[in-house]
Amino acid sequence: MGAREEYEGFTNAALNQWAKKIDELEVRARAKRAGEIGHFKELDILKKKSQEARLRFDELKASSQDWQNLVQGVDASLDELKAALERADSAVR
């Protein structure tokens, strides 16, 4: 397995795992909700970051030989997604 395949596999697994966590956070937020808008604001931000990261990853997968030039953007999106996930998790607690 080459470096590209390994990177794509790792990134796809991370995105899928975080998607599950986002779903779990949404369920927890709805259970605790009772009108607390802050939970949903953080979840909206989180979902947007997730979509952005998935889009960048899809661009990388569709690219040809210049995929390494896109890695930095994907990594930055993943870092932003992780930070948003942590903020949303704290907000829902």
Residue 69 CA: distances (Å) to CA of 15, 38, 59, 82: 20, 37, 11, 21
CA 82 centroid distance within chain: 6
Q: In percent, how much of the chain has pLDDT > 70?
A: 92
> What are the pLDDT digits (tens) for 36-51?
666 678 888 899 999 9
Q: What is the pTM of this model?
A: 0.83
Identify which of 73, 81, 38 has the alpha carbon closest to the alpha carbon of residue 57. 73
pLDDT, residue 64, reads 79
